[in-house]
Amino acid sequence: MSATRPSQGDGTSGTAILLRFMLRRERRSLPWWLLGIGVLLAYQSAGSQSLYDSPEKLARLRETLGANTATIAMSGPRELLATIGGEVVFEIFAYLAVLVALMNMFLVVRYTRSDEETGRAELIRSARVGRHAPMAAALALAALANLAVGVVAFAAAAGTGLPAGGSVLLAAALAGVGITFAGLTAIAAQVFENPRAVYGAVGLAIGASFLLRALGDVGNGALSWLSPIGWGQRTFPYSGDRWWPLLLPLAAVAVTVPIAVSLQNHRDFGAGLLRSRPGRPTATAALGSPFGLAWRLQRGSVIGWTVGVLLLAVGYGSFGDSVEQFIADNPEVADYFPGGATDIINAYLAFTIAFLALLAAAFGVASCLRARSEETSGRAEPILATATSRSAWLGGHLSVALGGSLLVLVMAGLGEGLSYGLAVSDLGQIPRLIGVALVWTPAVWLVVAVAVFGFGWLPRIAAIIAWILVGYCSVVTLFADSFDLPGWSTNASPFWHTPQAPLESVTAMPLLIVSALTALLVAAGFAGLRRRDLGY
Amino acid sequence: MVSGVAYPVPVTSAISVSGLVKTFGSVRALDGLDLEVAAGEVHGFLGPNGSGKTTTIRVLLGLLRADAGSVRLLGGDPWDDAVSLHRRLSYVPGEVTLWPAITGGEVIDLIGKLRGGLDRRRRDDLLERFDLDPSKKARTYSKGNRQKVALVAGLASDAELLLLDEPTSGLDPLMESVFQRCIEEVKREGRTVLLSSHILAEVEALCDRVSIIRLGRTVESGTLTELRHLTRTSISVETKRPLAGLESLPGVFDAILDGTRARFDVDTAHLDETVRWLADLGVRGLTSTPPTLEEMFLRHYGDEVAVSEEKE
């Protein structure tokens, strides 16, 4: 960290003060990441241990999963399946690793590139603070956060009855993935001028890590060693406890941090190594309307969600064919699917499409709430000072939210239909499953409508209301059957009232009721916006 | 000081606000504000930070709803007729936030189209005069350049009313003078401007009339000449005979006496009688400095300054 040129004095002075300040700024968001990671791990650990509670069941599982390429690609190396602890790592580690990597990416970007872009860092750097101090403090913050991840992961694993030694290794492996991506983010933050480009580059690196380990785990394992996620998985916690791969993240940090420091010495404050290209000097005709603006602002996220859900759907669909065999081997798993073991393929398709529909609702809420962030940032003001009515302005954003979530649903059906159809040699599955996915449209739109209503009447808490609803619908949809949730607790979810095609037959009445409610909430939301003050 | 604000109501008023009240929770941002802007005039809107200038402009734009009082804008109601009125006005905010990935040129075109049309020749002319590169993405603009984007977007229209909220904050002196020339042209075309500003030289150069507000209330309004009458002239004088008794004349303040020489301030209302009194002593030399806008400003803004003056 102290690789500064002597002529510049101490490049890291002020780091300790900055770190304290960053910890203060993080006190609201960091705990949620840790909680999420801990809960996911504990849930998986408890679930796996109760499902596969005998050596015979574990052996059967090893046979099914170990032979299934799709599962290996989505999870991890089959060596992990030796013990129940290893099975937990097999199922959840790759996803936890992606979460931890994202957490590190956001932490480091927030206190380096974002602060520089907004000008906050300028104020800080004008004080007695070294050139490298913000980055040093951000990396120290990331290190502390990864330590906390380790503590939480150990507590979740050991607390649910897994052996202590393997739990320490699992915790260290997760923290290792985190610190590796913190170092990579520090480099990307020097290269690109704006935070979005940094997120894009690091996001790509995370995706590539997942893909490389998937290819490696399916093949001979060589490619997995190119992936930080692969390094973590190949410590084989609970199923061999191999410690030396932990050296790889340390080596990565020893390489990435000096590179980032040296890159920072070669660039101006606020600039990146890659300069941003000039754009259009005049607007195209497409930008000249509220919808045109909303689309322009959100097209990146629409494309991202669409492609992401399509890939996920292709993954789920490709697994569909082997579900039957898998369930025959592991009858307990059937409890997670509506309708139990009968008609298991349809149950599987219904369940996964329901999950993708929840993602469509999450997209719709995020997209609709964009209007709120436009309002609070002051960017809506110059638009609403033109001959653009409030309704037309909100209508622009809402069109993107509704149209985009519809597109995400189509992608869910298309992806599952395509890969499942190829597996069973019946491309008629594509229109069939697109139809199945579209049955969720009223429910998804109702969630968006609640966000619109909140925006119109309770703008300050609209985001909280909408996201709580998404969370509630997710819990009800994903867990109500397996946890036997009481009827009253599920009734408020529009997802609960949507028939789970193709398992259940589609009836019009619930869809019509949900649609009517959607229209009512949207109309009320617009009415609320028309009568309230803007900008607060 | 004039309170109660009695000024002649113009024949056609572009903006007519009386008794405007706006509260946010327990904060009374506007507390009975009055504002009259005649059609075709450039009206200066002055007040310290937090006095309610931006809130007033937001009410005029129909973004905020007035709690009490009457507000007319171009003959319409800014809340009910927002969309149709907005076709006839253009707005330049003081704090410009733009979309990071959209270029300045695109923002200017977008705002122009949404208002209902854009004069392309005027747009290109303004870009050149303000020396703004329209092909840069907004995230790369400095504060001054972001301000220029908003100015070009606002001035490129042929709107009959311009609402400008501290439009030159962040501009360098060269660009400030470009801005002043643009406003002079707008004025020649007979259009109306409400100019909220902190730059007094700008207001003195451009404005026909000014309104000064403080704590959400109008404290003075009128032409600059009228307002000067309400304040004090600084006089420095030398006479043949000693100036004894000067300090006790009505309307004389802050007198510094040195035998036959003196410096003092006098209320403009008492200027005539004071000069007659001086003439009787035989005036050898006299310089008088009319009050600057800045002095008027300070008298209304600085509580401490005002209080200490009153005590003396």
If you write DSSP's letter for every residue of A268-296 in order, what string do you get? -TT--SSPPPP--SS--GGGSSHHHHHHH
Mean pLDDT (chain B, rounded): 87
Angstrom distance (rounded) from CA A169 to CA A153: 10
Mean pLDDT of B87-112: 93
Angstrom distance (rounded) from CA A172 to CA A152: 11
Q: Do B63 and A288 touch (CB under 8 A)?
A: no
Angstrom distance (rounded) from CA B308 to CA A328: 93
What stretch of H or E contains B73?
strand B68-73
The residue among B67, B140, B143, B155 with the most chain A CBs within 10 A of its CB, best to mutate, is: B140
How many residues are given for chain A? 536
Comparing alpha-carbon positions, the chain B residue that sits nearest to A280 is B135
Nearest CB to B97: which of A293, A379, A531? A379
- pLDDT (tens digit, 9 = 90+) per residue, B4-45? 444 444 458 999 999 999 999 899 999 999 999 999 999 999
Enumerate the β-bridge partners of residue B24: B27
Task: Please give the model's pTM, rounded to 2 decimal places.
Answer: 0.75
What stretch of H or E contains B220?
strand B217-223
Query: What pLDDT is stored for residue A339 in this prediction?
Result: 61
What letter does residue B181 receive in the DSSP assignment? H
Given a cut of 80, is residue B242 above it in pLDDT?
yes
Query: What pLDDT is stored for residue A2 in this prediction?
Result: 44
Residues of chain A below pLDDT 50: 1-9
Helix axes A344-376, A390-423, angle to 10 degrees: 150
Copy the structure tokens of residue B206: 């451009």
Name which of A442, A459, A469 is nearest A365 in CA terms. A469
Copy the structure tokens of residue B68: 């009490």
For residue B114, which residues of chain A lie inside 8 Å, CB to CB? 288-290, 383, 386-388
Query: What pLDDT is stored for residue B302 in this prediction?
Result: 60
Q: Do B137 and A389 touch (CB under 8 A)?
A: no
Query: What pLDDT is stored for residue A337 in this prediction?
Result: 63
Q: Do A379 and B99 touch (CB under 8 A)?
A: yes
Question: Is A473 exposed, middle or buried, given 0-12, 13-18 or 19+ CB atoms closer than 10 A?
Answer: buried
- pLDDT (tens digit, 9 = 90+) per residue, B52-74? 999 999 999 999 999 999 999 99
Enumerate the β-bridge partners of residue B23: B28
- pLDDT band for position B301 (cuts 50, 70, 90): low
Q: Do B103 and A278 touch (CB under 8 A)?
A: yes
Q: Which amino acid is at A379?
A: R
Q: Do B105 and A283 touch (CB under 8 A)?
A: yes
A289 CA: distance to closest CA in chain B (Å): 6
For residue A378, which residues of chain B lie inside 8 Å, CB to CB? 93, 95, 97
Q: Do A278 and B63 touch (CB under 8 A)?
A: no
Nearest CB to A281: which of B61, B114, B134? B134
Name which of B222, B257, B221 is nearest B236 in CA terms. B257
Query: What pLDDT is stored for residue B303 in this prediction?
Result: 52
For residue A280, which residues of chain B lie inside 8 Å, CB to CB? 103, 105-106, 135
Q: Do A290 and B150 touch (CB under 8 A)?
A: no
- pLDDT band for position B306 (cuts 50, 70, 90): very low
What stretch of H or E contains A328?
helix A290-329
Q: Do A288 and B109 touch (CB under 8 A)?
A: yes
- Residue A434 CB contacts under 8 Å (≥ 6 apart), including other chains: A410, A413, A414, A417
Q: Do A289 and B114 touch (CB under 8 A)?
A: yes
DSSP string covering A497-519: TS--TTTSPP-HHHHHHHHHHHH
Q: By mean pLDDT, which of A419-428, B185-194, B268-277, B300-309 is the weakest?
A: B300-309
> Residues B192, B37: contact at Cβ < 8 Å?
yes
For residue A282, which residues of chain B lie inside 8 Å, CB to CB? 105-106, 109, 134
- pLDDT (tens digit, 9 = 90+) per residue, A59-118? 988 888 777 777 788 889 999 999 999 999 999 999 999 999 999 999 999 999 888 877
A364 CA: distance to closest CA in chain B (Å): 21
Angstrom distance (rounded) from CA A372 to CA A460: 9
| 0.90 surpassed by complex ipTM | no
Q: Do A387 and B103 touch (CB under 8 A)?
A: no
DSSP string covering A427-489: TTHHHHHHHHHHTTHHHHHHHHHHHHHHHHH-GGGHHHHHHHHHHHHHHHHHHHHHHT--HHH
Query: What pLDDT is stored for residue B11 in this prediction?
Result: 52
- Residue B312 CB contacts under 8 Å (≥ 6 apart), including other chains: B253, B254
Query: What pLDDT is stored for residue B8 in this prediction?
Result: 47
Query: What pLDDT is stored for residue A361 in this prediction?
Result: 97
Q: Do B106 and A533 touch (CB under 8 A)?
A: no
Given a cut of 90, is residue B198 above it in pLDDT?
no
Q: Do B115 and A533 touch (CB under 8 A)?
A: no
Comparing alpha-carbon positions, the chain A residue that sits nearest to B98 is A379
For residue A292, which residues of chain B lie inside 8 Å, CB to CB? 110
Given a cut of 60, is residue B299 above it in pLDDT?
yes
DSSP string covering A149-206: HHHHHHHHHHHTT--HHHHHHHHHHHHHHHHHHHHHHHHHHHH-SSHHHHHHHHHHHH
Given a cut of 90, is residue B254 above it in pLDDT?
no
Enumerate the β-bridge partners of residue B73: B15, B76
